Structure 1
Amino acid sequence: MNLATLALFLPACFALNMAPGPNNLLSVRNATAYGFRTACLAGGGRLLAFALMIALAAAGLAVVLQASELLFHGIKILGAGYLLYLAYQLWTADTRGEAQGRSTTLGLGALARQEFLIAIGNPKAILIFTAFLPQFVDPGQPVPGQFLMLGLLFLALEWIAISAYAWMGLHMRRWFAQPRGRRLFNRGCALLLSAAASVLLLARRS
């Protein structure tokens, strides 16, 4: 995997990691209720779920990429379409909803299990690993090693996202409590995802 591919992958991937979703919002809530350290440790449950998804996707991906170039391009278009759909959802999201109420006190294990279950049951995460990551894999080289590297980078960036949302949960409670603050954040992520989709559609493989 060359530096040009990584230069394209890292910002596009980080935009996905940072996009507001059930797990990231859970990190905000956990940090508000239990503190920064607990929220970050609980995020390990999410990383475990994503690691399992990456392993399953990688197992079948080599066959898919090497069997059909047309199918590969179809996956690429599907992935870009998903990014644009997610961007649209963020841009038009209703930010006037009431803030979440108090949650019952839970231990670290229960919080991590909650993160795991939310992540493993999220079809959007499955689509990311089957339609987004493959776009950065060169079918002419061994696929498992490339996918492993991309998967590890994804998990590292996801950990940064967990920490960032936990930090925001501690220090930006009032800002996120306002509809305007949530709207600006959502639309910023929508712009990043739209740009990532455009770049991926225009990117050419060697």
Structure 2
Amino acid sequence: MVFNCIKWIGVVYLGWLGLKTILFSSSVYKDEDNIKGEVTFKDDSQTPWDFARQEFIVAAANPKALLLFTVFLPQFITSNTATLGGQILIVNAV
């Protein structure tokens, strides 16, 4: 029962995100004079670092990524505590 509640809350949340994206998609427009067809944004208040931070938060909150890091990747790390942090950084970067 709890799983079904969480599943349907997720369905409603994803539906809300999709609807919000469709309704506010007018903030992104294609420039008619732009030959390359690049997408430009009307609101330039967000920097590339803001987008990178947002992507990191989304990726870090992904349950599949958390499972990957906790189940699959530890088998590639040795128990040497002196280099443990470096090993984790290298394995996660790859």
Same fold (TM over 0.5): no
In proportion to residue count, which structure has more strand? 2
TM-score norm. by structure 2 comes to 0.39
